[in-house]
Amino acid sequence: MSFKLKLKPALEPTEPMGVEYDLVIVGGGPAGLAAALYSTRYFLKAIVVTEKIGGYLSEIHLLDNYLGLPSIRGAELLEKFVAHISTYGVPIVVDKVIEVTRDESLWIVSTEGGRRLRTRAVIIATGSKRKKLGAPGEERLIGRGVSYCATCDGPLFKDRVVAVIGGGNSALSSSIYLASICSKVYLVHRRSSFRAFPTYVEAVKANPRIELLLNSIVKEVVGEERVEAIRVINVVDGRESVVKVNGVFVEIGLEPDREFFNKIGLEVDDGGHAVVKPDMSTNLPGIFVAGDAAGGPYKYRFEQVITAVAEGAIAADAAFKYILRTKSSAA
């Protein structure tokens, strides 16, 4: 995806240590970009550091549930987000944050590219990474028929046969999209019913190109140089079958970066999400977590673009109030 707008140039790794930010936002998906927008409303000196602008938003084929923007491509919505933020001059740096440490009254955000950003507060909005099946053959055939992004790689399988693994919104929406370009789509789900939106379920069941393999799991991805088939077992009757496919799209959910959270000392829940309070604050004063990376007893899990945007705005507001308190106490 290419943006029509021009982002501010990235900071150089040799930037003087004397430069100080009010807020560093780690992650450039919907939550991080919303936090960036609201930081400008409070006249905070902020910067966004992200491995990928937009996160998974750019991979969404079509959204029909973002208020006021029906039937919009994820990449198009992302362009609107970034264009809005660019009018306020918030720099967006493409880099990977590897550590967040404390230095007296400030946080130091260190990146893989050698940057050391001094800041009063940090908002982490790194989202989640895609889960893998863990089946034999999967890792070896990544990029050779195994994919985790239907909108990215789907066109490579035009008029061919593919399998989608999963039972949530991502799996069903990917199946619907792939059915529009592939000759056949097998949808493999380990249960007898879906947890996706009813509209997706109805569309999948009504599509003649989609065949459901329910109560089933993939035991192996078969192929030498490329994907040739999947070995599937029915968890109810134990029957095993080999289904010939040219591609496998894994859509079994997301998981947060637990290792990174543990490294910087954030409290995490059983799922590895950072535990947050209602204002998105954490056990570390001055660090907030928003979007899919957030968890804990106060977090209502509903992974949607619109809720990620809302949490980013809440985190920015809470960070602003935290910064005001710390500045007042230091005066």
- The region, left, alpha or beta by phi > 0 then psi within -120 to 50, assigned to residue 131 is beta
Rounded Cα–Cα distance for residues 122 and 35 (Å)? 11
Predicted TM-score (pTM) of this structure: 0.78
Report pLDDT for 266: 97
Of all residues in the chain, the percent with pLDDT exceeding 70 is 94
Going along the chain from its start, the domains and CATH numbers come out as: 20-129+254-330 (3.50.50.60), 146-250 (3.50.50.60)
Of all residues in the chain, the percent with pLDDT exceeding 90 is 78
pLDDT digits (tens, 9 = 90+) for 207-261: 999 999 999 999 999 999 999 999 999 999 999 999 999 999 999 988 899 999 9
Report pLDDT for 18: 56
pLDDT digits (tens, 9 = 90+) for 20-41: 999 999 999 999 999 999 999 9
Radius of gyration of the chain (CA): 22
If you average pLDDT over residues 193-200, what whole number do you get?
92
Catalytic residue set: 149, 152-153
pLDDT-wise least confident of 62-66, 245-249, 286-290: 62-66
- Does 55 have pLDDT greater than 70? yes
- Does 8 have pLDDT greater than 90? no
- Does 330 have pLDDT greater than 70? no
- Does 296 have pLDDT greater than 80? yes
